[in-house]
């Protein structure tokens, strides 16, 4: 008969049991921390979130409806927790929610300028296909965030899945100041989306008459420049 309890086998078994005990205890601890973690996000309590992250809690752990912690924090206006999460080395900064919105897009929409800067530092995707952070910033007309995105080479005429540009979003949903900035930075007001609408059409159907004036004036100036005769070489 083979003696199972040889010194070597017995030692290995003891090590396995210790490993199993530690693993089970660790998982129980973290599973009990799940509620604490998301409650801390709701209350914007950065100390609790930081403590749990240091104990090994995954900053990418989704909620029951598959929202990531950072996206939840942005939506809840938990700015202090957002800063803790964005500084976590394990954070997946480009992980989208179920609507394919990234943290940078939502931070731009919620006008959280400091978080926008930090996400960009962490390598957040500025020029993703389809809807972009610039579309979202333009929708709220946040001039500061629009400037930041453009300084980091955001494509100014990015087209959404239906061909809508940031300028169109600014002209209808945003502010006249955002519309003016995008025009001055080179946005094309003559692009048409899939419905055949231009930025001027968006402005005309929106609530901001100043936006209409800016777009019309820019188009008129552009057309006037194109009609100027080319000077003969001297």
Q: Which of 88, 89, 70 is nearest to 79 (CA)?
A: 70
Determine the topology of domain 126-226 in CATH.
Answer: 1.25.40
Question: What's the burial of 75, exposed, middle or buried (CB within 10 Å: 0-12/13-18/19+)?
Answer: middle
More confident residue, 31 or 150: 150
CA 32 to chain centre: 29
> Same fold for the domain at 20-125 and the one at 126-226?
yes
Q: pTM of whole model > 0.75? A: yes
DSSP state of 127: S
Reported confidence tier of residue 32, pLDDT bands at 50, 70, 90: low
Q: What is the pLDDT of residues 38-77, one digit of tens each?
A: 999 999 999 999 999 999 999 999 998 999 999 999 999 9
Contact present, 56 and 30 (Cβ < 8 Å): yes
Q: b/e string for 174-200 if b means 16 or more Cβ within 10 A?
A: bbbbbbbbbbeeebebebebeeebbbb
CB atoms within 10 A of CB 114: 12
Q: What is the pLDDT of residue 14?
A: 43
Superfamily for domain range 20-125: Ankyrin repeat-containing domain (1.25.40.20)
Percent of the chain with pLDDT over 90: 79
Residue 191, CA distances (Å) to 115, 143, 176, 196 in order = 31, 22, 19, 9
Kindly list the domain boundaries of the chain, sorted by start residue.
20-125, 126-226
**Cβ 102 vs Cβ 91: under 8 Å:** no
Q: How many CB atoms lie within 10 A of CB 66?
A: 9
CA 92 vs CA 41, 95, 118, 131, 215: distances in Å: 17, 6, 13, 19, 39
Per-residue pLDDT tens over the stretch 174-215: 999 999 999 999 999 999 999 999 999 999 999 999 999 999
Digit-coded pLDDT (tens) for 130-179: 999 999 999 999 999 999 999 999 999 999 999 999 999 999 999 999 99
Tokens of 232: 């003969």
């Amino acid at each position: 008969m083979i003696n199972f309890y040889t010194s070597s086998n017995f030692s290995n078994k003891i090590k396995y049991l210790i490993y199993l005990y530690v693993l089970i205890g660790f998982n129980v601890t973290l599973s009990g921390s799940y509620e604490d973690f998301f409650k801390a996000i709701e209350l914007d309590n950065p100390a609790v979130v930081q403590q749990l992250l240091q104990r090994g809690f995954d900053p990418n752990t989704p909620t029951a409806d598959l929202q990531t912690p950072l996206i939840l924090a942005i939506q809840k206006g938990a700015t202090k927790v957002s800063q803790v999460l964005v500084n976590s080395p394990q954070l997946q900064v480009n992980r989208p929610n179920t609507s394919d919105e990234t943290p940078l897009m939502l931070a731009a929409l919620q006008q959280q300028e400091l978080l926008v800067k930090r996400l960009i530092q962490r390598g957040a995707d500025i020029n993703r296909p389809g809807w972009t952070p610039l579309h979202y910033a333009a929708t709220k007309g946040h001039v500061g965030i629009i400037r930041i995105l453009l300084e980091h080479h955001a494509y100014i005429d990015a087209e959404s899945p239906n061909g809508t540009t940031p300028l169109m979003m600014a002209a209808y949903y945003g502010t006249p100041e955002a519309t003016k900035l995008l025009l001055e930075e080179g946005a094309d007001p003559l692009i048409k989306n899939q419905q055949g609408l231009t930025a001027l059409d968006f402005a005309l159907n929106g609530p901001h008459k100043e936006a209409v004036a800016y777009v019309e004036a820019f188009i008129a100036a552009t057309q006037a420049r194109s009609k100027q005769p080319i000077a003969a070489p001297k």
